[in-house]
Amino acid sequence: MSQLPETDDVRILTQQMRAYLNWYKANGTEPFFHRKSGRVVLSLLHVEHRGKAEFVRGINSEVSLPTGSICAERAAIVNARTTFPNINRKQMKGIAVLEVPLLNTWTSEVVHDLLNPLPPCGACNEWLLKIQEQSPSFYVVTYQDLSLEVAQERFLFWSLQESARADPDLGAWNCHCCHHQNAPLSTVCGSCGVDRFSSSYLRMPTQKKYFRVLHALEHCPMSFKELSGKLAEKVPDLKEVLQRLQRNRGKHKDVHPILSRDADGLYHLTETGRQILMRKQDALPSGRRRNARHKPMRRSDKGACNGSEQMRAEQICPAPNSCAMASQEVKGP
């Protein structure tokens, strides 16, 4: 830590985290609020307000499981919005996360059981990715232990483990507009601001028929027969449309097809396809918006394709617990 320049954001955030940790050591917390997982997680959100760096605290709360637990990261974001109600995502610069002992017991056994370095859980990752869309250099800092001497900057929520599991469509990408090398999981170019999943960037044809096919596959993969039964009138050249959507973008290795066809002959939206559809729906008037964020059902679940809302909630938040609990199951996007 001492090797970092004094003006380094990670170093300043860590100094502030140390102050928060010392405050916690002196004051402790009410165990009632941690009665579900027995874990306490502190977080500190770095925001820029009126040209000044501010550090906003967060702590997890587990009051009632049916209503969901609130992780430290999301608590800090909500705290920042409460303290500075006009704050925007651009003003959020980074966040530090640290697990500390419940009941203020600092024996080596207790400290050894802490899960530091603690990555954000799936639900917090969703929030942080939304912030990162407007604040491309947003950073996440975790610590090896309570000395805070070794910080791990999780470059845009990415670890080697995660990169092995992640969808290749969301991997590192080289912007075609400005040649900036962008980090995995980022969707907006850190230099020129282009959206890698916009139809124009992907040079996706803009005719309605292409979007009709994406919509049809939103919830379930389908065979050619099923698709043509559904779309025959509106998409007479269905075969060509499907071929076009499956084609890769030639020399651009980091642009992926929009549809894929599996060994059973079923057509699926790829992650790129889902991202395009999501943007299309975000652009619609709110009454017509539908939720496109979930992954399609597996074929064996075909009959249950209406339960998409619930499924989405399960995927984003694998366990309705604090980060400490949820992070035990390593998740990929």
Residues that bind Zn ion (CB under 5 A): 71, 121, 124, 175, 177-178, 180, 189, 191-192, 194, 323
Least spacing, CB of residue 243 vs Zn ion, in Å? 29
For tokens 């969808």, the residue is 167
Long-range own/partner contacts, residues 23-28 (CB < 8 A, 24 or more apart): 24/100, 24/104, 25/104, 25/106, 28/103, 28/104
Give 59 or 292: the residue with its C-beta nearer to Zn ion. 59
Least spacing, CB of residue 183 vs Zn ion, in Å? 13
Give 29 or 246: the residue with its C-beta nearer to Zn ion. 29
Give 45 or 124: the residue with its C-beta nearer to Zn ion. 124
Least spacing, CB of residue 317 vs Zn ion, in Å? 8
The rounded radius of gyration (Å) of the Cα atoms in the chain is 22
Residue 145 contacts by C-beta under 8 Å, 6 or more apart in sequence? 111, 114, 116
d(CA 6, CA 47) in angstroms, rounded, equals 18
Least spacing, CB of residue 5 vs Zn ion, in Å? 28
Does residue 117 have a cis peptide bond before it, meaning omega lies within 30 degrees of 0?
yes
Least spacing, CB of residue 323 vs Zn ion, in Å? 4
Residue 289 contacts by C-beta under 8 Å, 6 or more apart in sequence? 281, 282
Give 100 or 231: the residue with its C-beta nearer to Zn ion. 100
Give 28 or 190: the residue with its C-beta nearer to Zn ion. 190
3-class secondary structure, 107 = coil
Least spacing, CB of residue 7 vs Zn ion, in Å? 27
Residue 298 contacts by C-beta under 8 Å, 6 or more apart in sequence? none
Give 180 or 212: the residue with its C-beta nearer to Zn ion. 180
Phi/psi for 156 (5° steps) reads 50, 50
